Amino acid sequence: MLSVVVATTTDQVSVHDLDDDDSVLTTTDLDAGDLPDFVREREQAPGAPAPRWVWSDTATWYPPLLAAGVTVARCWDLRLCHAILRASALTAHTSFASAGASAWDQPRVQTATDRLFDLDPPVRLDPLEELRRQRRTVAAALADDGRPASGRLSLLLAAESAGSLVAAEMTHAGVPWDAIEHDRILTALLGRRPVSGYRPELLEAKLAQVRSALGVGDVNPDSPAELLKALRLAGLPATSTRSWELREIDHPAIPPLLEYKKMSRLMTANGWHWLDTWVAGGRFRPVYVPGGVVTGRWASDGGGALQLPHQVRGAVRADPGWTLVVADAAQLEPRILAAMSGDRAMARAGQATDMYEGMVATGAVETRQQAKYGMLGAMYGGTQGESGRMLPRMTKAYPQALALVEHAARAGERGEVVSTWLGRSSPRPGQDWRLAQGEASGEGATGVEQDRARAQARGWGRFTRNFIVQGTAAEWALCWMALLRLRLRDLTPGGDVTAGPHLAFFLHDEVMVHTPAHLAEEVADIVRECASEAGRLLFGAADEASVEFQVSVAVVVSYAEAK
DNA sequence: CACGGCTGCCAC
DNA sequence: AAACGTGGCAGCCGTG
């Protein structure tokens, strides 16, 4: 059963219940403030299956429900699904793809005009019409070979929508954060918190070492230009102030400088100011942006949620009586490549707990390190170093897998679109790119222009090569979380997600569940089961040729203990 | 002085 | 070891 939520004015809502052909059975008009109770009743109605709530945008509708202690089992996020369907190669032949841009193509953030007229974007949209268009478009989806492809696309839209629920619920729950422990970490590494505008004691001392080793009194180490000048004046052969370059230089100023940079980075990115800004009431509440990355990965907005440095992970601590179940999908992208290419030799390696060891065991390479760099090179398009050297070995051992990524790279070099396993498609290259390609192939093009165009083409090829793997890995992760979320929900009494085990953090191929300690082992099993099930959901029933999606699970009090 | 480009480093 | 994908973010620095 689909229930479509429509904002009729800023404080009036209509809910349309639809039958199987999307015609309206009943309509209920409500004050917006009565929506949480209405949704709660529908979700908990005995005997009736919970509806799938269709709304313009989970990020707009769901947080107020969560704040009122109401959760929903399923939804359809029209804005996120719209974006997928507009760009997908599977629906490129439909009127949905060829129509001009509409309000549904706008980003979610309110425009100045919306605020001026006190209108939320959803008020000006017609979710019911949009739903019908999307359903028709999915039904018309066709694969490359002309066969119907609505199954995969439906799964993608469901997974994307489930992801939007997970994102809102995780922001609502927050990451359990021990501010006292965070302060302890900072104080141990940097010295006590200084008054603003000053450096903490240990950082200042480190800087004094740098200055004295360089024989300068006042260089500002935070200005790359000034620092580089000082380094060169002291006779160091530096061409930049990047740590990896400085590491190669043998000079007494280098070790303290590298330490200074590390300390300084910690203070500016995740220091006391970050703590003041982002942690409140023992929770870090990042804002996740589902679909925020072209490949389908999530982005984040504020707080740097997707780059939590290992240095501060000790501050992520379960509540008393609770524990963290941290699960990491092992070698996710190589496994994804094996599964989507149908490469049987690579799939065999992918049945091992450690896929890179599996590649060694099956004789493709000699060492785990070679396997790792070889795979990264294959997926990123590396040409240099160990990656480049391993490429012929990879191609020989795993011809089908390498052919798949090479094919994607060639398509990108020609400016064509590539798609993930479930049908999310890459953007087309920008106008500058196309212009450069056109000019380089025309008469009178200089060698420099041609070289630059070729370099740009190869660059876009590396993007599309990586897109199909990274994007499909993101789809697997969405399915993993969607399944996990529903299983955890069954263990949680009442409406509030934080009353029982719940997802607290997500990072591309890793999830964290905050759970009452006595349920930790049960949760760990569920996490593993959902990983396998996500593999079957995407790639079909398990057989001897299928990849096993292994996860390493740690039951810990502090995030620093995981991995 | 607001803004955007650049540098450098963090995560996967 | 160094350069090969996706991002966020702080601070610097030039520009209008």
pLDDT in tens, A12-50: 899 999 998 899 999 999 999 999 999 999 998 888 888
Closest residue by C-alpha to C1' distance, nucleotide B9: A265
In angstroms, the CA of A310 and the C1' of B3 are apart by 33
Tell which strand C nucleotides have any atom below 7 Å from a protein Cβ: 1-14
Do A93 and A145 fall within a single domain? yes
A151 domain residue, yes or no = yes
Do A232 and A168 fall within a single domain? no
pLDDT, position A9 = 76
Do A196 and A237 fall within a single domain? yes
Strand B CB shell (< 7 Å): A 224, 228, 240-244, 261-262, 265, 269, 306-311, 507-510
3 state DSSP class of A153:
helix
Phi (first) and psi of residue A3, to 5 degrees: -120, 120
3 state DSSP class of A392:
helix
A442 domain residue, yes or no = yes
Find the angle CA(A178)-CA(A306)-CA(A320) to the nearest 5 degrees: 25
Do A120 and A253 fall within a single domain? no
**Amino acid, res. A12:** Q
Contact flag, residue A381 CB and nucleic strand C, below 7 A: yes
The domain tally of chain A equals: 3
pLDDT tens digit sequence for A318-368: 999 999 999 999 999 999 999 999 999 999 999 999 999 999 998 889 999
pLDDT, position A455 = 87
pLDDT, position A109 = 52
A479 domain residue, yes or no = no
Do A227 and A346 fall within a single domain? no
d(CA A89, CA A378): 24
A330 domain residue, yes or no = no
Find the angle CA(A72)-CA(A74)-CA(A80) to the nearest 5 degrees: 115
In angstroms, the CA of A30 and the C1' of B5 are apart by 49
pLDDT, position A112 = 40
Closest residue by C-alpha to C1' distance, nucleotide B11: A307
- Domain boundary residue, one of A419, A449, A469: A469
Do A346 and A440 fall within a single domain? yes
In angstroms, the CA of A289 and the C1' of C7 are apart by 12
A101 domain residue, yes or no = yes
pLDDT, position A68 = 95
What does pLDDT average to in each consecutive run of 10 residues of chain A (563 residues)? 81 91 92 94 89 93 94 95 96 96 76 45 77 96 92 97 96 95 95 88 94 89 90 91 91 93 92 92 92 92 88 95 96 95 93 94 91 92 87 93 95 95 94 85 80 88 94 96 96 87 95 97 97 95 86 96 87
Contact flag, residue A373 CB and nucleic strand C, below 7 A: yes
In angstroms, the CA of A233 and the C1' of C8 are apart by 34
Do A372 and A254 fall within a single domain? no
Do A235 and A97 fall within a single domain? no
Do A143 and A233 fall within a single domain? no
- Domain boundary residue, one of A148, A172, A196: A172
In angstroms, the CA of A269 and the C1' of C12 are apart by 15
In angstroms, the CA of A479 and the C1' of C10 are apart by 34
In angstroms, the CA of A449 and the C1' of C1 are apart by 31
Q: Which tokens hold the place of A199? A: 């450096």
Closest residue by C-alpha to C1' distance, nucleotide C8: A304
d(CA A415, CA A22): 38
In angstroms, the CA of A364 and the C1' of B6 are apart by 42
In angstroms, the CA of A79 and the C1' of C5 are apart by 27
Tell which strand B nucleotides have any atom below 7 Å from a protein Cβ: 7-12
In angstroms, the CA of A225 and the C1' of C13 are apart by 10
Do A248 and A396 fall within a single domain? no
Contact flag, residue A222 CB and nucleic strand C, below 7 A: yes
Domain limits at A185? 181-275
Q: Which nucleotide is nearest to A297 (CA to C1')?
A: C6
Do A132 and A206 fall within a single domain? no
Do A215 and A241 fall within a single domain? yes
A308 domain residue, yes or no = no
Neighbouring CB atoms inside 10 A of A173's CB total: 19
A150 domain residue, yes or no = yes
pLDDT, position A123 = 55
pLDDT, position A116 = 43
Cβ < 7 Å from strand C, A residues 428-467:
459, 462-463, 466-467
Burial degree of A395 (CB within 10 A; 0-12, 13-18, 19+): middle
- Domain boundary residue, one of A125, A145, A172: A172
In angstroms, the CA of A247 and the C1' of C2 are apart by 12
A107 domain residue, yes or no = yes
Strand pairing report for A52-55 and A2-9: parallel
Find the angle CA(A303)-CA(A307)-CA(A313) to the nearest 5 degrees: 90
User: Contact, A258 vs A247, CB < 8 A?
Assistant: yes
Closest residue by C-alpha to C1' distance, nucleotide C2: A385
**Amino acid, res. A466:** N
